[in-house]
Each structure stands twice: as structure tokens, then as C-alpha cells.
Structure 1
């Protein structure tokens, strides 16, 4: 599995029913848990005072990341993303073997 640093920003379309927003956010939480259990979502952070998230994700390749992982998030249609493929640095103190 390859690792990706993913920045996600969610923008709810103007005029969206608050009940729909709540429904999707609840479903998003459930789906994130499923993706974590499957080994795709490794870590997730929110910069202090901001409404975006930065996560460490794993997938076989970028195609799988978009199609079978990120694309399954209930809020995905409202998200913009920036994806960076990353690999462990030789001096990383937390370095673990990642299969490529």
C-alpha cells in the first residue's frame, strides 16, 4: 500500500437543508471508521481554528484512493482535495516498512 497526505476542505452548498448536512456528517463519521478499520485512514488532523482536515491515507495507488476510498465519503461531493504521495524518509524516527 502507498501512503498519501490528503488535505480536504468541505464547503456545504448554499441553501442545503441543515437536516441533509447533519445526515451526511453522521454518515461521514461512520464511513471514516470503516476506512480506518480497513487500513485506509491512518491518521486525521484538523489545523487549529480551521475547517479543513489533513490525513494520512493508504491505498494501492492514486486511482484506488480516489475511486474506492475518498470517493466513498458521504461529504465527497462537497469536498476539494489536495493529494500528495509520500514515502518514509530514511531519517524518519517513526519509520515503518510500507509495502510498495
Structure 2
């Protein structure tokens, strides 16, 4: 599986009924949990004071990321995204073993 850094910004269309926003946000939480269990959504952060999310996602390729994960989010029609494909860095502490 490949890893992707994904930035998502949600902009609710002006005039959207607040009850509809609440319904879609609740559905989003359910879908995010499903994607986490499936191994697609690994971590999710929100920068302090901002209304965007930054997440670590996994998929076999970018097409699968959109088809089976991001595109299935209930808020997706209201989102803009930036996807960055990641690769391991030789100095990544997670990949270094202690030889001592």
C-alpha cells in the first residue's frame, strides 16, 4: 500500500440547511471510522484555528484513494483536496532500528 498526505478543506454551500449540514457531518464521522477500519485512513489532524484537515491515507494507488476512500466521503462534494504521494525517507526514525 502507498501512503498519501491529504489536505481537505470543506466549504458548505451558502444557504444549506443547518440540519442537512449536521446530517452530512454525522454521516462523515461514520464513513471515516469505516475507512479507518479498512486501513485507508491512518491518521487525521486539524491545524489549530483552521477549518481544514490533514490526514495520512493508504491505498494501492491514487485512483483507488479517490474511488474507494476520498470520493466516498459524504462531505466530498463540498471539499477541495490536495493529495501528495509519499515515500519513505532514509532518515525516518520509524524505519531505523537500534543496532546497540
Q: Which runs of 5+ in 1 are unaligned?
A: none
- Higher radius of gyration, 1 or 2: 2
Q: Root-mean-square deviation (CA), in Å?
A: 1.0
Q: How many residues align?
A: 96
Inter-partner Cα distance in structure 2 for 1:61 and 1:77: 21
Counterpart position of 1:94: 94
Inter-partner Cα distance in structure 2 for 1:65 and 1:39: 11
TM-score, normalization: structure 2?
Answer: 0.93
TM-score, normalization: structure 1?
Answer: 0.93
Inter-partner Cα distance in structure 1 for 2:87 and 2:26: 32
Residue correspondence of structure 1 range 7-86 to structure 2 within 5 A: 7-86=7-86
Inter-partner Cα distance in structure 2 for 1:66 and 1:16: 25
